Structure 1
Amino acid sequence: MNDNSKVTIQNLLTVKSIVTILLTVIFSYLAIIGKVSGEQFLTIFSVVIAFYFGSQYQKGIQSPNKEVENNE
């Protein structure tokens, strides 16, 4: 395994990623069997995905600033 795939696997095993994947699978299953309507699924899934990608974006913004602070 190369270093890039190890980093990718480590990133996927964070708690936030695991929760996002589990919620996606669970709500997809519930929508397929009819326990959750399509509208409810879309609302919940949108919130989960927005939180996940918002957190990833925020982490990306904070990372360069930390490096600059350490170099000063």
Structure 2
Amino acid sequence: MERIQERLANLLSVKSLVTVILTVIFAGLSVRGSVSSEQFLTVFTVVISFYFGTQTQRKSTHAGDET
């Protein structure tokens, strides 16, 4: 149960909220035709890469602290 609460708390971090909000906005703009699929893919790739890159970096940093 604690693990679920921890994951929910992490989901509510600023970085996660920005990632989710940007994804929803750009998906909406893409559906409306305001943004081309190429533009959507570029922005989405950058945002997701940044998000998962920082998550991976944080995990590897914490793993190094434990040794």
Unaligned regions of 5+ residues in structure 2, if any? none
In angstroms, what is the RMSD of aligned CA positions? Answer: 0.7
Q: Which amino acid aligns with 1:54?
A: G
Deviation at 1:62, TM superposition (A): 0.3
Q: Which TM-score applies when normalising by structure 2?
A: 0.95
Larger Rg: 1
Aligned residues: 67
Q: What residue in structure 2 maps to residue 28 of structure 1?
A: 27
Unaligned regions of 5+ residues in structure 1, if any? none
Percent of pairs with identical residues: 49
Question: What is the CA deviation profile of residues 40-67 of structure 1, one whole-angstrom value per residue up to 9, with x for unaligned ones?
Answer: 0000000000000000010011002222
